Structure formats: C-alpha cells, structure tokens
Chain A
Amino acid sequence: MEYGYFPGCSLTSTAKEYDETVRAMVKSFGVDLKEIQDWNCCGATPAGAVSEEASLALPWRNLALAEGQELTQVLSPCPACHSHMCSSHEVADDAQIAKRMEELTELSYSGKIELRHLLDFLIEEIGIEQIKEKVTKPLLGIKAACYYGCLTRLHGAKVDDRERPIKIQQVVEACGGTAVSFSHATDCCGASLVLSKTGTVLRLSNEILAAAKRAGANCVVVVCSVCQGNLDMRQKAIEKAYSVEYDLPVIYLSQLVLMSQGASPKELGFSKHFVKPDALWEKAFVADDTPKKKRKKKNRGRITH
C-alpha cells in the first residue's frame, strides 16, 4: 500500500525523531510513505491570526500538490498541520472559496484526498489486530499517561470522544503496555505561546506533568510535536520553576509502537530527547510486580447514576 505523507516543519527539525519513527513504524506495517514533493508550511496558528485566506491557501497548495502527484490519501503526524489541512480540504466544496484558493495558489484541488492523522491512521488503516501481531517485545513495564493534546479533538483527528478519548490507550494496550487513568489527557500545553509567553506554557505543562505523575505514569505518550516539545524540552525548566521533580520521558506513539517491535534506543532516536528515556527502557519490558495500591473501601455498593 502507498500512502501520501505530510511531515510538516517541526518534524524536519525539533521533532526529527517523530518523523523517523513514523516512517519506520509505517514501513513495518507494509505501507510505503510518499512524501508530498516540495510541500510548504501549513501556516500553523500565526497564519490564521494574520490572514484567514492565507491560512486556507497554504494547506491548499499542499493538497493540490499531493493531488498532482497522484496521492489519494495523506498521513500527517502533526495534529495542527492535519487540522489545518482538513479546514482547507473542507472549503473545496464551496465553489466561491475554492475559486479564490485557485487564484491565490494557481493550483486546483478537487477535494478528493482522504486525510488521516497518525492516530486515526493507526486505528482505522492498520488496525489494533495488526499492531498486536507485530509485537515482539510487549511493553509490560510501560505505564503510559496518554496525552492527546488539545488539537486532536478537532474535526480532523477524529478522536472517539472529545473529552475522554481512548484511541492512544488502545494502541498502548495493543503493545502490551498499561494506560493509567489520566485526568489531563486533552488539556492544552500552551502550544504556540511557547515563543511569546513561556511562563504560561511552563504553568500549563507543569499541570499536565503533575497529573501524569499523580496517575502513576512512568512516561507520557504523545502524538503532537508541540506537546512533546513543551513537555520534554521544557521539563527541566518546569522542574526548576515549580521546585518539583518529574523525570518523565515524553515519547511519541510511533516510538512506543516500534519499541514493542524490538527497535533499539538508537533506532528510536532516544538521544534526541531532553528527558532521557534510559531508565524507562530498563523497566519497559518487565512487568511491575509491586502490588497495586488498593483503595480502602467500605462495604458499600458502587453508586449508580
């Protein structure tokens, strides 16, 4: 099977390991990725805040290029890029807006490409069964806080539930790991404010990491490069600012899937992480024997709603 691929800017720089592992993971399932030739930035949040037309025209060009390169499906690992592409994809149905887009980009797009975010791709295209089949080293010691971030809730990424999604959990469990009950799965990390309001980002990311720690996680699993950046790269700064200690590796879902297929830390690009996943690696494949803390419960029935 051949699949179009839109990595997006951050996957070529700050989130290189995401790009590399997505490619390797997709390949392991027998799917060939064909990168859209000469793709441009999707415009991210700034384009939308400066010009509504540009925020639609920039992804439009990528969609039109993909169509010209005879791609029928496009996978994007970044939920922000994916969501912007979806917005642009949707206006193809509106003749008036489509005409304006064609004027701006000098390219036409029919609106026929199927767009999938990585999460959606894994569940719908690959399927849990196939993920399970490929597992050679079950992640018995992984206790993941599945962090969806805020943007996977939007139209494009098709999470199953906007408040309590379970798609990442399904993948983590298919790989033999455990998903902890995590209260901040869809809370915002501060995202694009990282360059302008760093303090805000530290505060928000701190809340997310604290929730993950509270839930008893030994890692945070993400599907967004911005989330990873804020939680991993800034973790030291957060620990300093709030006098806390987390030491929680923040790994991409693609890294997790490859881990369960026996990939080495080098192949996973772990050296690119700021919070070293070394300690996690040591316990990732060993079941945790310490008995679970049981809540003391009075002999009362479970309340009904």
Chain B
Amino acid sequence: MTESSQDPNITLYTYSEVEEVKGYVGNFEVTIRKKARSVDLDTCTGCGDCIQKCPKRVTSEFDMGLGRRKAVYIPYGQAVPNVPVIDKDTCLFYTKGKCRMCEEACGPQAIRLGQEDELITEKVGAIVVATGFDQWDWTKYGEYGGGEIENVITGLHMERMLESTGPTAGHVVRPSDGKEAETVVFIQCAGSRDPERGVSYCSRVCCMYTAKHALMLKEHQPNSQAYVFYIDVRAPGKNYEEFYQKAQRDHGAIYVRGRPSKLFERGDKVVVRGVDTLTGKTLEIEADLVVLATALVPSKGSMELAKKLNIPHDEYGFFSEVHPKLQPVDSVTKGIFLTGACQFPRDIPDTVAMSGAAAAGVCAVFSQDNLTIEPRIAEVDEDRCSSCFNCVDVCPFGAIEIATRGDRKVAHVQKSLCAGCGNCASACRVRAIDVDGFRDHQIYAQIRGAFEWGERP
C-alpha cells in the first residue's frame, strides 16, 4: 500500500465510494464520493497529537470490539495514508457541538471540523473490482448462543488477539474476564455448508487459518490446548496439507471430526457438545474460548456497486465472471475486471494471482490502439426503428443509447458495450434489431441444415 501511495502514476482515493459509473471500456467516467474525514490530507503530518488529546473513547471496529479507539483515529497501524479520520457518529463536536480539542492540539492546523463530502469525477480506461468479503452473521445460530455467550468469538477476533501489536498484545484471552484461555475449541463451517440457515458453499479459507490459529496459539501459550471440530479438512494448496499436519503433529491440536450441536455456559466455561464421528462417541468439552470459523459472504454494499457497474451476481451476491475457467477475472462488461473475494471466498495466494491476471487484463486493453471485440453484437436497422426504446430498458449492459437522426430519435448500439445477448432483438416489436451472426434467416438456415443432414450423401 505504501509503495502504491508513492507511485506518481497511482492516485489513491481512500475513505471514498464510487457514486456513479458512465461510459464504456477505455472511456469510463467515474464519480467518486470522497467522504469528509474532517482532517486535511495534505496538511496533516500524521503526528497523532489529535488522537492523544481526543477525550472520546469508543470500541474499535478493526479490533472487533476487543480494543478501544478514539473518536479521531487511524483505523490500524499500517493504514495508508497515515492520516486520522474523525468518526462523526461519536465525536463530541459532531454529536454535541462542543470540544474541538483536536483542533487545539493540531500543530499544522489540519483539522477541518464541518468539512463536507466532495464529489470527484475521474476518466479511466478500465476498472478492477476488489470489494472483498464480510463475515456471515453467525448470531443466527441460536444453538451456539446467538451472540450472547461472551467467550464465543470468530476467527477474526482470534486474528486480532494473536497479533502482537493487537488489543491483547498477542495473548489469547477470554473476553468475559481477560484471563488467558487454556482450552480453546475451534469450530469449522459456522454457516458454511449449511443450506438451511447459512450458505451452501465451502468458505475455502477457514481450514487453513484455523490450522494457523491452532499452531500460533500453542506457540504463544504453551499451556493451551486446541481442539478443532471439522467436517472435512480442505487443504489443497502448496504446502497446505503439510501445514495442517504440522498443527496436529507438532503443535498438539486435536482434530475431532463432527459439527458440534450446541454451546452453553457452565460456570465460567463454555461447554461444547459435539461428536467424534470417527468413533461415534459424543463428547462435551469445557472450553475457555470457542472460535467459530464463520462463513464468508460478499461485503456489505456490494449489491449497490453491482448495480452501478452492471455486474451480474449469484444468489449470494458474489460477482459473476464471464467464464469460471477460461475467463476467471473478466466481468461481462468489457474493461471491468474482478479479483479477490468479491467473486468467491479466496485466500491470499489466489487473490494475489488473480489480481495479477486482472492487472494484465487492463494492460492488454491499454496496449492496443484498436479494441478487438467479439463479432456477435447487436445492430439496429435505423430505418425500421419505431423509437419505442423497449430495447434500452431490456439491455443489461446499458449498451443502447438514443441517437438523433434528423428529426427522429433512434436506438443506437454502443458496440464496445454490447455482449450480444440478444435481449434487445427479442424485445424489438418491429424487428429492427438483430444480432450479427444470429439473424433470423441465419438461424432458420441452421435449423434447415440440421434437418437435412440425414439426407446428405
């Protein structure tokens, strides 16, 4: 991140959202909402004086509520740019109209209380979408306490705790009392592989990060004991299987095959009622901490973005690529590429590889003077067009625009956007649109050919 922030050819818009996307490959016009951070990006030196002086403490989202932050804060240590933001929902100035302590503390006078969002328009040639994932709301699982048992956490909480600069300085503790956890139970597939109440797919990354957590837990706290409840361990990557074996063999993680049915509190312990299906024995483990490997789902807001970019998505909201095997990073709209977990849960090596592919896709577009497109696109017979513009409404790619021909208005296909789906051709009442190569007479010829085939010599 730091490297890209210093590259003269890269402009970073952090704390910003895409408002609107117009145009087509090579000619996108993107409206960006640069949200007011209430701190001036250019003047701020990142000294942190404002943070120190800020009297308002709230729970930190980045630390999953395990730690605290101020109302003016930098989300995490390596955040780029190293400039704080003021949280309008909790800042005393924004909520009660008084305080201004950060303003007083700031030497270079970079605080801009009352700053407003800014709309910026950029012309770009291609777009890469990498909106990532969120965790499935596991509190729907009433049998796992529905979020009421304090010592039931998720893998992301664990990740924060294992971080030596994190909220617990690398100690794995029970949120209820801050004591170091000794028996830690990991539960895989919390929401994944559960078509009834969660998602039906495998979230793909949990097996490996759980093995990592179990391994690191032992390294951080040698007195601890990890139990991992799994259904199947999926470790199909380079050195993955070996890593999982290492967690079992060298770090003593005990793997139990079976999905637990219930979690409940007994004293200060969480009882895990599970089964080892390999022996057929049901068992109860009294744990200090239970870590759920929650399912990964598309990030919040990705649906709105899909609409703005015309990207189709699956039933879960993951963005669809043109072809899962042959064009895995291309979206159906030319010039828009997909990478990472916005398509499906992916781990780091896969995401890096696919991002490389997406970047190469962008370079391929930019390196040509002319754009080669598929010949299968729609064409309007302008003389026939009755100007009803049904086609405009049905086009999923926004490829049909209204053009003026003298005193008439007619439909016009923007060739670089058209994907040749044929929706417009079916919707056109006067048969003014046809898809090249799939004109009626061509299809009839094919049908005739198919029936005549048997009679050929």
Per the CB under 8 Å rule, do A and B touch in the complex? yes
Q: Which residues of A are in contact with B by a Cβ distance under 8 Å?
A: 161-164, 181, 183-184, 211, 214, 295-298, 300-305
> Quick check: A304 and B64 within 8 Å, CB to CB?
yes
Sampled A-B contacts (11; CB under 8 Å): A161-B142, A163-B141, A181-B148, A297-B176, A300-B66, A300-B175, A301-B66, A303-B153, A303-B157, A304-B59, A305-B138
> Quick check: A184 and B264 within 8 Å, CB to CB?
yes
Q: Does B65 belong to the interface (CB within 8 Å)?
A: yes
Given contacts A295-B177, A304-B59, 12 further A-B contacts (CB under 8 A): A161-B142, A163-B141, A164-B146, A211-B266, A214-B266, A295-B176, A298-B177, A298-B178, A300-B66, A301-B59, A303-B65, A305-B138
Query: What is the distance, in angstroms, from A160's C-beta to the closest C-beta of chain B?
Result: 11
Q: Does B60 belong to the interface (CB within 8 Å)?
A: yes
Query: What is the distance, in angstroms, from B172's C-beta to the closest C-beta of chain A?
Result: 13
Once A162-B142, A302-B65 are accepted as A-B contacts, the answer to whether A211 and B264 lie under 8 Å apart by CB is yes
A164 to B142, CA, bound (A): 6
A64 to B6, CA, bound (A): 81
Interface string of B131-162 (1 = CB under 8 A from A): 00001011101110011101001100100000
> Quick check: A214 and B153 within 8 Å, CB to CB?
no
Q: B139: which A residues are within 8 A, CB to CB?
A: 305
Contact of B154 among A162, A163, A297, A305 (CB under 8 A): A305
Once A163-B141, A214-B266 are accepted as A-B contacts, the answer to whether A301 and B68 lie under 8 Å apart by CB is yes
- With CB as the reference atom, state the residue of chain B lying closest to A215: B265
Instruction: With a 10 A CB-CB cut-off, give which of A181, A184, A296, A300 has the most chain B CB atoms.
Output: A300
Query: What is the distance, in angstroms, from B452's C-beta to the closest C-beta of chain A?
Result: 50
A184 to B150, CA, bound (A): 17
> Quick check: B178 and A301 within 8 Å, CB to CB?
no
Q: A184: which B residues are within 8 A, CB to CB?
A: 264
A115 to B88, CA, bound (A): 52
- With CB as the reference atom, state the residue of chain B lying closest to A304: B65
- With CB as the reference atom, state the residue of chain A lying closest to B168: A300
- Report how many residues on chain B are interfacial, defined by Cβ distance under 8 Å: 32
Q: A295: which B residues are within 8 A, CB to CB?
A: 176-177
> Quick check: A183 and B138 within 8 Å, CB to CB?
no
Q: A298: which B residues are within 8 A, CB to CB?
A: 177-178
> Quick check: B60 and A301 within 8 Å, CB to CB?
yes
Query: What is the distance, in angstroms, from B267's C-beta to the closest C-beta of chain A?
Result: 7
A305 to B65, CA, bound (A): 8
Q: Does B317 belong to the interface (CB within 8 Å)?
A: no
Q: Which residues of B are in contact with A by a Cβ distance under 8 Å?
A: 58-61, 64-68, 135, 137-139, 141-143, 146-148, 150, 153-154, 157, 167, 175-178, 264-267
A303 to B265, CA, bound (A): 17
Once A183-B264, A183-B265 are accepted as A-B contacts, the answer to whether A303 and B150 lie under 8 Å apart by CB is yes
Contact of B147 among A181, A183, A211, A305 (CB under 8 A): A305
Q: B138: which A residues are within 8 A, CB to CB?
A: 305
A202 to B157, CA, bound (A): 39
Once A162-B142, A163-B141, A163-B142 are accepted as A-B contacts, the answer to whether A301 and B264 lie under 8 Å apart by CB is no
A305 to B135, CA, bound (A): 8
Q: A300: which B residues are within 8 A, CB to CB?
A: 66-68, 167, 175, 178
Q: Which 7 A-B pairs have the closest CB atoms?
A: A163-B142, A301-B59, A183-B264, A304-B65, A164-B142, A303-B65, A298-B178
- With CB as the reference atom, state the residue of chain B lying closest to A298: B178
- With CB as the reference atom, state the residue of chain A lying closest to B176: A295
Query: What is the distance, in angstroms, from A206's C-beta to the closest C-beta of chain B?
Result: 13
A285 to B321, CA, bound (A): 66
Query: What is the distance, in angstroms, from B170's C-beta to the closest C-beta of chain A?
Result: 16
Instruction: With a 10 A CB-CB cut-off, give which of A162, A214, A305 has the most chain B CB atoms.
Output: A305
Query: What is the distance, in angstroms, from A192's C-beta to the closest C-beta of chain B?
Result: 21
Query: What is the distance, in angstroms, from B282's C-beta to the closest C-beta of chain A?
Result: 12
A302 to B65, CA, bound (A): 6
A279 to B148, CA, bound (A): 32
Q: A305: which B residues are within 8 A, CB to CB?
A: 64, 135, 137-139, 147, 154
Q: B65: which A residues are within 8 A, CB to CB?
A: 301-304
- With CB as the reference atom, state the residue of chain B lying closest to A161: B142
A183 to B64, CA, bound (A): 26
A298 to B154, CA, bound (A): 20
Q: A164: which B residues are within 8 A, CB to CB?
A: 142, 146
Q: A163: which B residues are within 8 A, CB to CB?
A: 141-143, 146
- With CB as the reference atom, state the residue of chain A lying closest to B284: A207
